[in-house]
Amino acid sequence: MTPTTQHLLWRPWGLCLALALAACSSKPPVPDWQMNAHGAAQKAVQAYLAGETRVATLEFARARQETARTGQPGLLAQVHLLECAAQVASLEMKPCSAFEALRLDASAAQVAYADYLAGTLPASAAALLPQSQQAVATATDANAATALAAISDPMSRLVAAGVLLRTGHAHPQTMQLATDTASAQGWRRPLLAWLLLQAQRAEQAGQSDAAAQLRRRIAVVEQGGG
């Protein structure tokens, strides 16, 4: 291959990567609603976990509006599940009511995930969940911490930790792992929730020193470095 030929072959490929030109690909362009919904959903989750409620509310609403343009209840159900998952990760254990209104048109996998978030999924349906959540769905007191630690994605791990708490399988080791995960990501909302839970458990157990240390951490987060 001569230098000239090599240059001619790599130049259009480089342009395709750098500029993402539609002409460089045989695939049809991604619909506007899909790009808008995806971007809004990502921003919404990050804002929610960061404790930026106003931004999260606006971006989740935008994600729902963009998705609703398709007239597909199943797609809209996915947005609601994402929001409910972020809530479970932050120990906000309210019902996922918006999804329930769409349950009849949701896929089997979506229904299974909603039941998983609610802590009501039967073990026989665990295979319908994302792979990262399957072991947690069937976890017992003996292996819950191991199943949780095996999840590498921080958001998925926090969702799983919330489910373990909801189903009565969250013990000190799992709570500490959830706290460490939220802390490492700088996710204010779930971090405060898990720290508060740990502090309450320490106080109930008469562990005053541990409770005081946790309360100091809570104060640092709440004061925002001020």
Q: What is the pLDDT of residues 56-90, one digit of tens each?
A: 999 999 999 999 999 999 999 999 999 999 999 99
| Least trusted range by pLDDT, from 1-15, 19-33, 44-58, 174-188 | 1-15
| pLDDT 10s digits, 189-220 | 999 999 999 999 999 999 999 999 999 999 99
22 pLDDT more than 80: no
| pLDDT 10s digits, 82-91 | 999 999 999 9
Amino acid occupying residue 6: Q
Instruction: For residue 23, give both structure tokens.
Output: 């002409």
30 pLDDT more than 90: no
Q: How far is Cα 195 from Cα 2, in angstroms, rounded to an integer? A: 63
Instruction: Identify whether the C-beta of residue 197 lies closer than 8 Å to the C-beta of residue 167.
Output: no
**pTM metric for this prediction:** 0.85
Instruction: Identify whether the C-beta of residue 158 lies closer than 8 Å to the C-beta of residue 89.
Output: yes
Q: Considering the chain, what percentage of its residues have pLDDT values greater than 70?
A: 88
Three-state DSSP state, 140: coil
Q: Is the dihedral of CA 134, 89, 92, 102 positive or negative?
A: negative
Overall size of the chain counted in residues: 226
Q: How far is Cα 68 from Cα 50, in angstroms, rounded to an integer? A: 26
Residue 25 has what pLDDT?
52
Residue 8 has what pLDDT?
31
Instruction: For residue 98, give both structure tokens.
Output: 């918006």
Q: Is the dihedral of CA 161, 157, 148, 130 positive or negative?
A: positive
